[in-house]
Amino acid sequence: MTLTFLGTASGLTVVHRRHFSILVEASGEPFLLDAGEGVTQGLLECSMEPERISAVCVSHTHPDHAAGLPMLLQTCYLRERTAPLDIYLPEGRIAWFERMLRGFNIFDSRWKYPMCLKPLEEAAERLPLRVFRNHHLDTIVDVAPAFGLDAVSYSYVVSDSDRRVLVSSDILGIGDIVDHLPGVDFLVLDATHTEYRDIVELAERKPGLTIVLTHIPPEVEDNAHPLQEMARNGRLTLAEDGYSMQIN
Ligand SMILES: [Zn+2]
């Protein structure tokens, strides 16, 4: 299994990082975990043709995880994709997404490739992963229902052979994932919504766990930040755009 970090920025746009997206190549098919702005450029940069992507999963619909999707769809159309594309969305966001695409003048009935929008919780039926809910969107539970929207966000566990990778996507804190760590070999962790002391404690408590941080906020770029020191000591990796992780 290979994970390629197409975008590693936090929710704040910066010059040197695209927004969150991870290309997974496992069990013979390439698919995406989230599709933040710049995802299509990220694919082209690592020589992955966008029309080869078989599915896109979206953990939650914050723009830094989903705003690259319309351009990916348009690029597939312009490159004359014909293969179907499955898009897995959080609960309650399918009708909204369809309407948004029409607003972008995307009418897939006129395209050569069909899009199939499905609930994210059905992704496990086709892809080598499972999803579980986290509390990242608890902060909007008081406002979203007034607009007929759920406030649901997910993390992923990707499996290939006997290897497991937990990709937190955005979480509320490390408490969202600890119950899912047993049996996990690699942890791809949100560096924006996690206290660095919790990361230090986790690295000490689970020395066999390989930790890769992404969703990197600007303050972590500072060479004096404790997480930079941990990276220099080889206790974790701070992902950069284009960083590729081979897991055997
Ligand atoms: Zn985010």
Structure tokens at 158: 């990707």
* CA 66–ligand 1 middle distance (angstroms): 9
Q: State the pLDDT confidence band at 161, using cuts at 50, 70 and 90.
A: confident
Give, to the nearest 10 degrees, the angle between helix 94-103 and helix 69-78. 60
**What is the average pLDDT across 31-45?**
98
* CA 134–ligand 1 middle distance (angstroms): 13
* CA 101–ligand 1 middle distance (angstroms): 21
Cα distance between residue 103 and residue 60, in whole Å: 20
* CA 153–ligand 1 middle distance (angstroms): 11
* CA 192–ligand 1 middle distance (angstroms): 8
pLDDT at 149 over 90: no
Give percent of the chain above pLDDT 70.
100
What strands, in cross-sheet order, belong to the sheet with 115-119? 115-119, 85-89, 55-57, 29-33, 21-26, 2-7, 244-246
* CA 6–ligand 1 middle distance (angstroms): 14
**What is the average pLDDT across 165-191?**
97
pLDDT at 248 over 90: no
**Locate tokens 């975990």: which residue?**
33
* CA 215–ligand 1 middle distance (angstroms): 7
**Locate tokens 């970090």: which residue?**
5
Give percent of the chain above pLDDT 90.
93
**What is the average pLDDT across 115-137?**
97
Query: Model confidence over 55-112: pLDDT tens digits?
Result: 999 999 999 999 999 999 999 999 999 999 999 999 889 999 999 999 999 988 889 9
Q: What is the pLDDT of residue 29?
A: 86
* CA 212–ligand 1 middle distance (angstroms): 16
Tell me the average pLDDT of the chain.
Answer: 96
* CA 12–ligand 1 middle distance (angstroms): 9
* CA 64–ligand 1 middle distance (angstroms): 5
pLDDT at 148 over 90: no
| Number of independent structural domains in the chain | 1
Buried b (16+ CB within 10 A) or exposed e, 77-95: beeebeeebbbbbbebbbe
Query: Model confidence over 210-234: pLDDT tens digits?
Result: 999 999 999 999 999 999 999 999 9
* CA 111–ligand 1 middle distance (angstroms): 30
Q: What is the pLDDT of residue 82?
A: 96
Neighbours of 40 (CB within 10 A): 22
Query: Model confidence over 203-214: pLDDT tens digits?
Result: 999 999 999 999
* CA 214–ligand 1 middle distance (angstroms): 10
Q: What is the pLDDT of residue 220?
A: 97
Check which CATH number belongs to the domain holding 47 and give it: 3.60.15.10
Range of the domain at 32: 2-246
* CA 107–ligand 1 middle distance (angstroms): 28
Contact 105, 136 (CB under 8 A): no
* CA 94–ligand 1 middle distance (angstroms): 20
* CA 172–ligand 1 middle distance (angstroms): 11
